[in-house]
């Protein structure tokens, strides 16, 4: 009889082995999925995981991996603070949207001025917008005991309606001939998120993501706040004895994750997206949850996981273009990654044991 037996302490080997095994299983079952769709599984897996890095046009795709990974890393770094402390912010997508709205609104309010201060002001506004949206579930949890999972998730739908209203109303371009959407911010020098290397698309959002990784690593490993975050997640009772205020911890974690998600939205609306539209959000806030857990809530792990997830985005687009692979199949592949990670992660705290079946 096969049973799961609780380990005395988590296995360090499985902590690092689980993400790698999850990726391998995703490739295997993803290949089976593609075969069922009538596609060559080897060609599909190669297009997704090999072509962007080593293919004929990899010189173009490699910088795009950085651009695609940047918002995922920014959001996932913010989420990791809360997840480590047991604060479950599932609504980063909403904070991402609101950060884009507030940042774009500040820039559009100053149009057509030409000054170098506009873009920094937009960055601050984007961070504050995401922070404010994240503080709503935080305050409701602290003051009224509301479940932050449900509140933050429901606020995503509010944010989606808000961005649609902005695209159709206050932020709609007067030169858009009635079509929804704001002015193109990427074409206005004072509000644009400029390319740091010509022809690559790499912008300040990539730099911000790298800074966030360094900041998170130092904070979690060297600062008293990082110790309090880890202690709260591992033993809330011990954290209270150590003088940690649970309410302040909730607000701090929700604020950090909201601000970083808002920054991701701002860099996206001033860079690759270029404008506020009805369908501005593309699910980065939800995908970042996969990135956070795939990276084991560790800043360096999140950096690598963000690159891997960006690989599925870019590679998925290549597979759709070259092989006619449905977009939904790529999304399913990303979902498989989280599913297998959660499944394999059981082995971190449990081991398989073989015992004899008891006879009645």
DSSP letters, 144-171, are H---HHHHHHHHHHHHHHHHHHHHHTTT
pLDDT at 146: 95
Band (pLDDT 50/70/90 cuts) for residue 262 is very high
* Residue-wise DSSP of 32-96: HHHHHTTS-HHHHHHHHHTHHHHSTTHHHHHHHHHHHHHHHHHHHHHHHHHHHHT-----HHHHH
For residue 358, pLDDT over 80 is answered with: no
Map tokens 């590679």 to a residue: 315
Closest CA to 248 of 157, 135, 115, 93: 135
For residue 360, pLDDT over 60 is answered with: no
Q: For the segment 111-154, what is each residue's pLDDT rounded down to a tens digit?
A: 888 888 999 999 999 999 999 999 999 999 999 999 999 999 99
Q: Of how many residues is the chain composed?
A: 360
Q: Is the peptide bond before 214 cis (omega within 30 degrees of 0)?
A: no
What is the CB neighbour count within 10 angstroms for residue 7?
13
Map tokens 């602290």 to a residue: 142
Q: For the segment 180-203, what is each residue's pLDDT rounded down to a tens digit?
A: 899 998 888 787 888 888 778 899
Band (pLDDT 50/70/90 cuts) for residue 270 is very high
pLDDT at 113: 87
Q: For the segment 25-80, what is each residue's pLDDT rounded down to a tens digit?
A: 999 999 999 999 999 999 999 999 999 999 888 888 999 999 999 999 999 999 99
Task: At 129, list the tokens.
Answer: 């917008």
Closest CA to 206 of 263, 158, 155: 263
Is the distance from CB of 79 to CB of 288 less than 8 angstroms? yes
Helix (H) or strand (E) holding 350: strand 350-354
Is the distance from CB of 10 to CB of 348 less than 8 angstroms? yes
* Residue-wise DSSP of 236-277: HHHHHHTT--HHHHHHHHHHHHHHHHHHHHHHHHTTTS-S--
* Chosen CATH of 40-324 out of 1.25.40, 3.30.70, 1.10.3470, 3.10.20: 1.10.3470
Residue 19 to residue 128: CA distance in whole angstroms: 34
pTM here is 0.92
Residue 128 to residue 118: CA distance in whole angstroms: 15
Characterize the bridge pairing of strands 2-6 and 350-354: antiparallel
- The whole-chain average pLDDT of the chain stands at 91
Residue 359 to residue 336: CA distance in whole angstroms: 39
Q: For the segment 216-242, what is each residue's pLDDT rounded down to a tens digit?
A: 999 999 999 999 999 999 888 888 988
Domain boundaries, the chain: 40-324
Band (pLDDT 50/70/90 cuts) for residue 335 is confident
Q: For the segment 293-313, what is each residue's pLDDT rounded down to a tens digit?
A: 989 999 999 999 999 999 999
181 φψ region: left (φ > 0), alpha (ψ -120 to 50), beta (else): left
* Rounded CA Rg of the chain: 22
175 vs 143, residue with greater confidence: 143
Band (pLDDT 50/70/90 cuts) for residue 354 is confident
For residue 359, pLDDT over 60 is answered with: no
């Amino acid at each position: 009889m096969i049973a799961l037996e609780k380990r005395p302490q988590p296995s360090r080997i499985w902590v690092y082995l689980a993400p790698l095994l999850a990726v391998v299983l995703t490739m295997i079952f993803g290949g089976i999925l593609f075969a069922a769709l009538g596609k060559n599984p080897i060609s599909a897996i190669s297009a997704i995981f090999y072509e962007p890095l080593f293919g004929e046009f990899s010189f173009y795709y490699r910088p795009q991996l950085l651009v695609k990974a940047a918002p995922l890393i920014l959001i996932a770094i913010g989420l990791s603070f809360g997840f480590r402390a047991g604060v479950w912010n599932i609504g980063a997508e909403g904070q991402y949207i609101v950060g884009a709205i507030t940042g774009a609104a500040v820039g559009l309010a100053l149009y057509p001025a030409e000054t170098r201060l506009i873009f920094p002001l937009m960055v601050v506004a984007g961070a504050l917008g995401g922070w404010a949206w994240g503080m709503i579930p935080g305050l409701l949890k602290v003051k009224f005991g509301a479940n932050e999972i449900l509140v933050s998730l429901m606020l995503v739908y509010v944010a989606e309606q808000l961005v649609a209203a902005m695209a159709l109303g206050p932020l709609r371009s007067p030169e858009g001939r009635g079509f929804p959407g704001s002015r193109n911010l990427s074409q206005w020098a004072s509000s644009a998120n400029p390319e740091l290397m010509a022809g690559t698309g790499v912008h300040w959002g990539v730099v911000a993501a790298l800074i966030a990784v360094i900041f998170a690593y130092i904070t979690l490993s060297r600062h008293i706040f990082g110790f309090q975050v880890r202690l709260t997640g591992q033993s809330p009772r011990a954290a209270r004895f150590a003088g940690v205020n649970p309410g302040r911890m909730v607000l701090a974690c929700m604020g950090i994750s909201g601000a970083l998600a808002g920054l991701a939205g701002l860099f996206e609306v001033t860079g690759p997206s270029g404008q506020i539209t009805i369908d501005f959000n593309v699910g980065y806030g939800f995908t970042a949850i996969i990135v956070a857990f795939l990276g084991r809530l560790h800043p360096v792990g999140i950096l690598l996981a963000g690159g891997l997830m960006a690989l599925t985005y870019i590679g998925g687009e290549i597979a759709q273009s070259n092989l006619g692979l449905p977009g939904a199949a790529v999304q399913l592949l990303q979902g498989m990654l989280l599913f297998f990670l959660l499944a394999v992660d059981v082995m971190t705290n449990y081991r398989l044991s073989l015992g004899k079946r008891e006879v009645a």
